[in-house]
Amino acid sequence: MRSLLVCVFVLLGTLGHAHSALNGPFESRQASTSSAPIFRITTDEFWLNLHHFLYVLGRAEARTNDSTRDAVAGAPPEAERGLKNLAADEQRVWAESVTAYAKGLSLKDAVREAPMPAVTAAMADAGDALTLAGVPIDAATREVLERAGPIYRKTWWPAHHAANLAWRESINALVGSYGQSILGFITTTYGMQWPADGYPVHTSGYSGFGGAYSSVRGVLVISSLADSTQRLNGLETVFHEGMHQWDNQVYVALGAQARTINVRVPVDLPHALIWITASEAVRRVERAHVPLVDALGIWKLYSSGAPGPMIRLKAPLEDAWKPYLDGRGTRDEALRLLLEKIALVK
Ligand SMILES: [Zn+2]
């Protein structure tokens, strides 16, 4: 998800504190806070949706190697269908807008490469305003978006907006049924706090090649059109993206254990822990759920700038982290054992 594959482990600037070890997954389960929102899903962010549509179309035009993945492959044919009904001058303006992205923002990683995170955050704040006047983005990007805006609004926005609304209804229902149980499991497992008022989740027809990501600015963007974000997959995804907000704290907790045994912390380990833990949390409420890490073939991919595919972490996670999820030992004992086992992998 994030640009799931690269998402992760981002230094947000301020390091959180490492929590002390827990006694085991359910022994200190939090009191129910069923009235507090776990997520606040927004659906009406016109500029954020246009920005991401242009971003993925620009990546397709630039032929980036991720632009044919399932979550974004539908964008170019959808654009083509809409263009057929437009006047020639509108087709030209749209093509120029896509090309501007293809030569600029679309070449940047949405999670961490400036100015993408800042532009995305500004688009989220802009909501559905008529223009981008006063929005803190560069003049060239503003011009591209404002020229493309009226074309997007009449051609693709109605369908993307409808998808956003349907996605929110579906995911809110699942969060209503299972959210407190999943939240209790992951906060207790990690020994970390979820914000009292939940995380904002920004829906967009398209987001990135993984179907969802969260930027270094803490902006969670989830595609409402991707197969990989529907129903239980979407439930796993929203918690997955929220858990990324703990990346710095997780890295600190891992670092403390790594020092005691003189090993390094793999850069993709916080992400691998999320894949395993979020999917297990969903499987505990719905046994038929297939973990996204398996369903999407994530193990064979490189994540978070790691030197090798994530598969090298799989057996250590099953040997050291899964038993902890089943209630054995403390978090920090599990992290230490996990690091020991990873250090032995050649
Ligand atoms: Zn991720």
What confidence category does residue 39 fall into, taking pLDDT thresholds of 50, 70 and 90?
Answer: very high
For residue 15, the Cα-to-chain-centroid distance in whole angstroms is 20
Amino acid 216: pLDDT: 86
* Cα–ligand 1 centroid distance for 32 (angstroms): 26
Q: Flag whether pLDDT at 280 surpasses 90.
A: yes
pLDDT tens digits along 87-107: 999 999 999 999 999 999 999
Q: What is the mean pLDDT of residues 48-54?
A: 98
Q: Which amino acid is at 177?
A: S
Q: Flag whether pLDDT at 8 surpasses 90.
A: no
Q: Flag whether pLDDT at 5 surpasses 80.
A: no
Domain locations in the chain? 39-175+198-230+238-244
* Cα–ligand 1 centroid distance for 238 (angstroms): 10
| Residues facing residue 222 across a β-bridge | 203, 212
Weakest-pLDDT range from 33-42, 88-97, 200-209: 33-42
* Cα–ligand 1 centroid distance for 288 (angstroms): 22
* Cα–ligand 1 centroid distance for 302 (angstroms): 12
What confidence category does residue 25 fall into, taking pLDDT thresholds of 50, 70 and 90?
Answer: very low
Q: Flag whether pLDDT at 17 surpasses 70.
A: no
Is the pTM here over 0.85, yes or no?
yes
How far CA 73 is from CA of 19, 67, 179, 207, 252, in Å, comes to: 41, 6, 30, 12, 37
Question: Cβ contacts of residue 75 below 8 Å, gap of 6+?
Answer: 53, 56, 57, 60, 206
pLDDT tens digits along 110-167: 999 999 999 999 999 999 999 999 999 999 999 999 999 999 999 999 999 999 999 9
* Cα–ligand 1 centroid distance for 3 (angstroms): 7
* Cα–ligand 1 centroid distance for 212 (angstroms): 8
Question: Cβ contacts of residue 195 below 8 Å, gap of 6+?
Answer: none
- Residues 121, 123: Cα–Cα separation, whole Å: 5
What confidence category does residue 212 fall into, taking pLDDT thresholds of 50, 70 and 90?
Answer: very high
* Cα–ligand 1 centroid distance for 304 (angstroms): 9
Share of the chain above pLDDT 90, in %: 84
Give the number of other Cβ atoms within 10 Å of residue 198's Cβ: 18
